[in-house]
Every structure is written in C-alpha cells, then in structure tokens.
A and B are shown apart, each in its own frame.
Chain A
C-alpha cells in the first residue's frame, strides 16, 4: 500500500526557514517523480515543484513564487522527500501536500505551515 506522510509543519516567523519531510512507502521510491502542492486556507491548489527520479538525475522544477527560496530534495536511502523553505512570507501559509502525481495519484494528508510574527 502506498503511503505518504508529511511532517515538519508549524508556525514560522516571516523571513524564517522550515524544512518539511515526506516519508514514503509502498512503491519504488528511487524511481518516482514526486511533487509538492500547497493550498492556502480556503483557497485553491498551487503546484510548488517537482523532483525527478534517480534515473533522470533528480532534477527539479519550481513554481515562480517559490523559485530561489524553496528547495526540493530526496533521500532515496530513507524513502523521504524534503521541502526546504527559506525567506518565508505570509503568502506561504498553506497546507503542504507531497504527492505521487497522476496517473498514480497518491497524496499525503498534508502538513500546515503558518507564517506569522
């Protein structure tokens, strides 16, 4: 059974940093392309970024609002995906989901990040 479980969310001050983790199981993690998607309270979905699998060089792509501030990485030995967030602002307040994208389509339950002083 595929499982994705995010952790690391919480309250962070504007300008601060936070690292989210996503523990994965039930599939060939090293080959998987994985994404982060976020959802601000009461708002729609926003694709944050993606990391390709080991065979594709683990290359990354990011949405414009987070490019240069957020970094996606992976530890295949731990089957864990990461999202390093830096220079956060109130606009980064959201539930952050890690996903195994379509057509496989598995999502974690999400972790809430609140940026506030």
Chain B
C-alpha cells in the first residue's frame, strides 16, 4: 500500500497568515493527489484534485502543488472559516490511502 505522510500534524496560525501543509507519498503517484477539508461533525470537502486543480466553488486562496512524492497545500490569507482539519489522499492506486491529517487551529 502507498503510505501518505502529512506534516505538521497540527498547526496554529492567525487570521491573515499564509500556511503550508505538506504530504509525502511512499512512492511516485504522479499527480493523483487530493486535498480535503473537514470540520467537526461534517463530511470532508474536496479542495484540490490532481495535485493542483481547484475544485469548483473553493476560494482561490487555496492552492496545491507538487508531483511524484512531494505535495503541498497552501492557504493564503487565512480566514476564520479555514480553521479545520486537512487531509491528503492519493488516488493513484488502490487502496486510496489518506494522510493522517493536519489540524489547523487559531493562534
């Protein structure tokens, strides 16, 4: 199975900050990488697919980059609504494994 390692596992930031979350795959997954946002008690929401494509309706302050084994999610100018948990997921090969998550908290 492909292992996905996210860092950091938690992050404190302030409104207006720029933050970056990274995700490393245990093998080359080309660009088959999704990023999700999840809020407490809710299902996850797709933000980015194929590493850098912004899902419809997602604010442009979210961006994704990377390829092969190294990926990142950047949030520019954090808004109060962005404080949540973020997960990466590879959909290159089954099982489509997730990273362990990054909890973004208000400083």
Chain B residues whose C-beta falls within 8 Å of the C-beta of A44 in the assembled complex: 87, 98-101
Contact A105 B46 (CB under 8 A): yes
CA–CA, A9 and B49, complex, Å: 30
B72 within 8 A of A: no
- The range of chain A's interface size is 20 to 34
Contact A102 B91 (CB under 8 A): yes
Q: Select from chain A the residue with minimum beta-carbon distance to B56.
A: A103
Q: Select from chain B the residue with minimum beta-carbon distance to A101.
A: B91
CA–CA, A97 and B42, complex, Å: 11
Contact A62 B55 (CB under 8 A): no
A75 within 8 A of B: no
Contact A47 B96 (CB under 8 A): yes
Q: Mark B34-78, 1 if CB is under 8 A from A, else 0.
A: 101010000111100110010100000000000000000000000
Contact A47 B46 (CB under 8 A): no
Chain A residues whose C-beta falls within 8 Å of the C-beta of B89 in the assembled complex: 45, 47, 102
Given the contacts A44-B87, A102-B34, A62 and B95 also touching, CB distance less than 8 Å = yes
Chain A residues whose C-beta falls within 8 Å of the C-beta of B97 in the assembled complex: 47
B45: contacting residue among A46, A50, A105, A110, CB under 8 A: A105
Show the binding face of B for A, using Cβ within 8 Å.
1, 34, 36, 38, 43-46, 49-50, 53, 55, 87, 89, 91, 94-101
Show the binding face of A for B, using Cβ within 8 Å.
35, 44-47, 49-50, 61-64, 97, 101-103, 105, 107-110
Sort A-B residue pairs by CB-CB distance and give the 9 closest, nearest first: A107-B43, A105-B46, A61-B94, A63-B95, A45-B98, A47-B96, A103-B49, A44-B101, A102-B49
